[in-house]
Structure 1
């Protein structure tokens, strides 16, 4: 008799576990599939103590440890992780970008991947985001995320940022909006966002044109959208590229001379972004060097170090006469990225000016 009761109880437990397993599988089937591509940075960093928020070591924690540190993300997505690189983002290179972009395009081409999160150091996060915004060939969400405090710090911002980024990457609301940045409960577009403070957690802002929305209560809320073309709408394809053209930035200041420009041209630069003062102005000592560089075939883009506003074509310089390109309102570092990609397609300044007005 006791054997029959035990047998019946075991059968009931098995049936319960079978039903529970089916319910878990059904729930997982409803969740989006999000791949986390880890590249290092502060979000994967560690400090000597819990109060170490500067002077820590970046890029020491692997992707699986990052995922395990935020178990709540398994409730909002089926998450997998890949360690693409493990670097501090000041060491991000053109080669890293090509590797990352190619892997993203392969993954987004798979039916079982609904979105991608990229963990990244904050120093060059905005540049990686804009590069990917121009070369990712999918409408599926791609979200970059980082942190301003290492994983060992009191009130580390990495875990909540990662949780929000996974929710955003798995959401239907983010589809077709280009590459996004999710930090500090805010959503920013890749083209406009910049790191605005050296250390605070609210550093990523699109101060002139504004953020795209918020993440609140596990849901993204969008209030505006990017109007410049991106992702599937661009003409750039890096899948068969192994190298990007050399493009450099020359920074203007009071009493600036031609030394940096001449050195960059001599190093083999095919393009040069001049981060000019004011409205992209060209100091008298610099103009001849830039003109000479253009005559050697180097493409010159007039940008501005100001941080906001449009560099007007034929405003502070006669771009038509000099055969220069006006950089619109892109920061010098983002103008460099667009010029690099433009040079993979053309060396016509008219065509490149069109691209700066398009992207």
Structure 2
């Protein structure tokens, strides 16, 4: 009898404790439901980065490593035709051989690491994850890095690196519009000059920059503008950061990130070491045009897209059918949208709520990279909105009184690097993942309506 009583008492004590434990575990899971990164990234890749040679260790010149991915710069003309500018095999030559063909560099000691050897469009997002980690691994040894890529998706690769590389050391992306072995190729000069920019240390704290044709651009701002011309890269809204001359590297303005040099908030929120590459979500782009159908959005959502960037007409407008499909995707699947313009330049301002986020001055390709990485780290739309409106944006306000004050928006909302143990930073608004709070498409980006904007300020470049 005593045994039965003890058993009953044990049940009365243990069962509630078990229930409380289960509830606590569930609360912990729910508390982190908006936090999609892995607690511990499994199996981070390792890279066989070459050690500094004894000669380079004793040299007074900076040590620059060229991380090669292939592209036109490493391309070989078909049939050995030295005049065949457009028919070639990208990613044929090894970078060590190409560097060996350059004149001995006057301003840097150069090493190479062959990450890959193919066209830029052939790389997956998971491979870009590895590339970013390889660049950071190289920068633990070297003073700066040059990354060579094909030009087709160079702006996307460069911006991915800009958002993810943790080191403050210079990262310079370059490539070529003509293969290495044809007459008039731009490959050797671009490679030589990119090494010069990296070795100069003048783009430290800039994040990733792109250098082709002797012109230096911020990765966030640059885009390819022509299919064939050597001077194809441009930054339509802001122009170049600087230029490479002989022998000078001249920087005339700095990107917004440089204003945070030396601060803990300089680094982006996207530390790839804390997530698995398998957590990188599907994010796509939809282009709007006259009477565009909604099938593109419906099809991409059916394929598993968690985020979609719309390249809209004018100030981000999309067709009524796309708008209807977008609203359904938000309501039924909680898809996050970013609005950009197909015009090539211009800012799309954010409404401050809902699942449609203004892409600022990012083009569709850049906005996709930003949204893809954001969704890899959080499902909270207000947090994603905060990242879009604060990280890397440039808004300078000058007020003159008895004590002249210069303030920039990059110093206002602090973008905190997330940690697995902490809740991700959120904007002042409450999370807006519920699709019922999302505004309709026409009310937020219809070009006939006045977009909601912050008080107008004069925009001027931040000088280094």
- Give the TM-score category using the shorter length: 0.7 to 0.9
Distance 1:228 1:358, change over 3 A: farther
Q: CA RMSD in A?
A: 1.8
Kept after mapping to 2: 8 A contact 1:72/1:163: no
* Alignment-derived partner of residue 390 in structure 2: 358
What secondary structure sits across from 2:311 in the alignment? strand
What secondary structure sits across from 1:307 in the alignment? coil
Return the alpha-carbon distance in structure 1 between the equivalents of residues 299 and 211 of structure 2: 38
Distance 1:26 1:353, change over 3 A: closer
How big is the shift at 1:313?
A: 2.6
Residue 69, structure 1, aligned to residue 101, structure 2: yes
Kept after mapping to 2: 8 A contact 1:228/1:358: no
What secondary structure sits across from 2:192 in the alignment? helix
Return the alpha-carbon distance in structure 1 between the equivalents of residues 257 and 357 of structure 2: 18
* Alignment-derived partner of residue 305 in structure 2: 269
Q: TM-score, normalised by structure 1?
A: 0.87
What secondary structure sits across from 2:273 in the alignment? coil
How big is the shift at 1:218?
A: 2.8
What secondary structure sits across from 2:172 in the alignment? strand
Kept after mapping to 2: 8 A contact 1:43/1:151: yes
Q: TM-score, normalised by structure 2?
A: 0.68
* Alignment-derived partner of residue 163 in structure 2: 134
- Which sections of structure 2, spanning at least 5 residues, go unmatched? 1-53, 392-464
Return the alpha-carbon distance in structure 1 between the equivalents of residues 131 and 56 of structure 2: 32
Moved more, 64-73 or 41-50: 64-73
How big is the shift at 1:155?
A: 1.2
Kept after mapping to 2: 8 A contact 1:136/1:232: no
Cα deviation digits, residues 6-28 of structure 1 (max 9, x gap): xxxxxxxxxxxxxxxxxx95996
Return the alpha-carbon distance in structure 1 between the equivalents of residues 160 and 72 of structure 2: 21
* Alignment-derived partner of residue 220 in structure 2: 191
What secondary structure sits across from 1:250 in the alignment? strand
Return the alpha-carbon distance in structure 2 between the equivalents of residues 306 and 235 of structure 1: 29
Return the alpha-carbon distance in structure 1 between the equivalents of residues 350 and 164 of structure 2: 26
Kept after mapping to 1: 8 A contact 2:236/2:344: no
Return the alpha-carbon distance in structure 1 between the equivalents of residues 168 and 360 of structure 2: 25
Return the alpha-carbon distance in structure 2 between the equivalents of residues 125 and 145 of structure 1: 8
Return the alpha-carbon distance in structure 2 between the equivalents of residues 260 and 125 of structure 1: 25
Residue 291, structure 1, aligned to residue 327, structure 2: yes
Q: Runs of at least 4 residues of structure 1 off by over 6 A?
A: none
How big is the shift at 1:114?
A: 0.3
Return the alpha-carbon distance in structure 2 between the equivalents of residues 70 and 58 of structure 1: 19
- Counterpart of 2:271 (choices 237, 245, 264) is 237
What secondary structure sits across from 1:118 in the alignment? strand
* Alignment-derived partner of residue 98 in structure 1: 129
Residue 60, structure 1, aligned to residue 92, structure 2: yes
Cα deviation digits, residues 152-198 of structure 1 (max 9, x gap): 11111010110111111111212111111111011111000111111
- Which sections of structure 1, spanning at least 5 residues, go unmatched? 1-23
How big is the shift at 1:312?
A: 2.4
Distance 1:356 1:86, change over 3 A: same
Residue 212, structure 1, aligned to residue 249, structure 2: no
Return the alpha-carbon distance in structure 2 between the equivalents of residues 174 and 310 of structure 1: 25
